[in-house]
Structure 1
Amino acid sequence: MGISSGSTSRPSGRRARLKRSQEDSANSRAHVPCREGDGSVNGAHDENVFYPHRVASLPSYVPRPVGRALNAALHAGLAVVDRVGEIAPGTRAAARFGSFGQGTSIGFPPATLMNTGAIHLGSDTLIGRHVTLSAGYGPLDERDLERTLVIGDRCVIGARCSFAAHELIEIGDGVWFGQDVFVCDASHGYRDPHMPIGEQFGAHAPVRIGSGTWIGHGAIVLPGTTIGCNVAVAAGSVVRGEIPDHSVVAGVPARVIRRLENGVGWVGAHGDVREVLDGRIGATG
């Protein structure tokens, strides 16, 4: 049976469902404010609305002035917490250290501070947040700990570094550490196959790091290591053994890749002359 020319047909079946879905989606978007800077729905966003994608913990939305005030108050509060929580000369926490030099500070929050009476910090040393400074074998270590972890003057220690000194870790003046550096003077043994390795202590050997040295991000310094003065340790290196003054080490295990020779300048690991700092910066090799 035909359809008269004056009638209007409605789409049916799959096309009809698709059209209704598109119409419903458009209607729902018409009642939802767009994200800041979107402009895809209803033109520009409402300047008087503070949108939840900026502060996930707020209700569905709050007035923009309230959101800005909360944001400012939060950051002001964090700044106060940073200042108040910092360990500096004159605080009770600093008084518990074996010594705590003038101008030295430990950022808040620290990670672990253990047996601080055996930890000695020089002057003008800056220690970042989440740094572990540990002396001895635990909080119940009954030995007469005195100078187990010693850090000199004008050192800079990046965030999340960890110093685990069981017998002795000694760091000179002006030593800089990148973030996430680990220094330890003890390891675990595995002689007894029936005992958990974590309960077996291996060799203990002092660690000494000379003045003016720089330790790159994520480096590890193992027990028994002696690093000379003005040494550069590349990021991610694992250092063990004796490293001479004025050298550059890198790798796992770390090896000397450059060293300074008197009267010659900086040379490669095998003695070939590669002047890098002798007035002509930029040489490669």
Structure 2
Amino acid sequence: MPKKQKLFPALAAWRRRTLSRAVHRGARWVRETGAVTADRPGPYRFGRIGEGTRLAYPQGTVFGEEWIRLGEHCVIGEQVTLTAGMMPGLDLGPDPVLTLGNGVVLGRGSHVVASRPVVFGDDVFCGPYVYVTSDNHSYDDPGTPVGRQWPRTAPVEIGSGSWLGAGAVILPGARLGRNVVVAAGSVVRGT
């Protein structure tokens, strides 16, 4: 009998299957327990989390929660970034800066960065890796590095029922009407 041959291949296969099931059950438990809802806000103190809204685990970067309002029955995928303000710890005033209407879906890996009002209407669907921002780099002085120039900011509005395809980029000043489709990979700026 060869040295490397396993004496109990059925037992080894059973052990691998059992371990695999345990790992998958544990991962499912972590995803369920780590999800953020109105009943289980985790470390976050959002201005509002509507009933039935869920932020999948693991979350992306989240700060400025006090100025973020999430409507009812929103689905926010894994690794989604939601930020109000350019950095944590800023006082952005009394009004919300980032508002998601009811039934909004943000696909995995999407980013919503708002220092000026960004408003999603009801039932907006975003595919994975969509980027929406109220801030953008400026290039007013060619002699100064772009990263050292003050960013341009403008409010963003996405109308109810709109659909943003995978990888779409929505820049400052964009105002999308109702039921607008933005193709995957498109860049939208202005109105």
TM-score normalized with structure 1 length: 0.62
Distance apart, 1:145 and its partner CA: 5.6
The question of whether the paired residues in 2 share the 8 Å contact of 1:184 and 1:221 is answered with yes
2: CA distance, partners of 1:183 / 1:47: 58
Do the aligned partners of residues 47 and 162 (structure 1) sit closer, same or farther apart at CA in structure 2, a change above 3 Å counting? farther
> Are residues 1:118 and 2:67 paired?
yes
Distance apart, 1:222 and its partner CA: 0.8
Aligned residue pairs total: 190
* 1:1-285 equivalences in 2 (<5 Å): 32=4, 48-49=8-9, 63-93=12-42, 96-144=45-93, 146-193=95-142, 195-242=144-191
Do the aligned partners of residues 194 and 47 (structure 1) sit closer, same or farther apart at CA in structure 2, a change above 3 Å counting? farther
Distance apart, 1:189 and its partner CA: 1.8
Contiguous gaps of at least 5 residues in structure 2: none
2: CA distance, partners of 1:202 / 1:95: 27
Question: Per chain length, whose mean CA-contact separation is higher, i.e. which structure has more relative contact order (CA < 8 Å, sep 6+)?
Answer: 2
RMSD: 2.1
Distance apart, 1:180 and its partner CA: 0.5
TM-score normalized with structure 2 length: 0.91
**1:85-119 alpha-carbon deviations (Å, 9 max, x no partner):** 00011124386000000000000001100111100
2: CA distance, partners of 1:229 / 1:143: 28
Do the aligned partners of residues 125 and 110 (structure 1) sit closer, same or farther apart at CA in structure 2, a change above 3 Å counting? same
Q: Secondary structure at the residue paired with 1:63?
A: helix
The question of whether the paired residues in 2 share the 8 Å contact of 1:135 and 1:165 is answered with yes
**1:214-254 alpha-carbon deviations (Å, 9 max, x no partner):** 11011111110000001111111111222xxxxxxxxxxxx
2: CA distance, partners of 1:130 / 1:191: 33
2: CA distance, partners of 1:76 / 1:188: 44
Bigger Rg, structure 1 or 2: 1
Do the aligned partners of residues 94 and 229 (structure 1) sit closer, same or farther apart at CA in structure 2, a change above 3 Å counting? farther
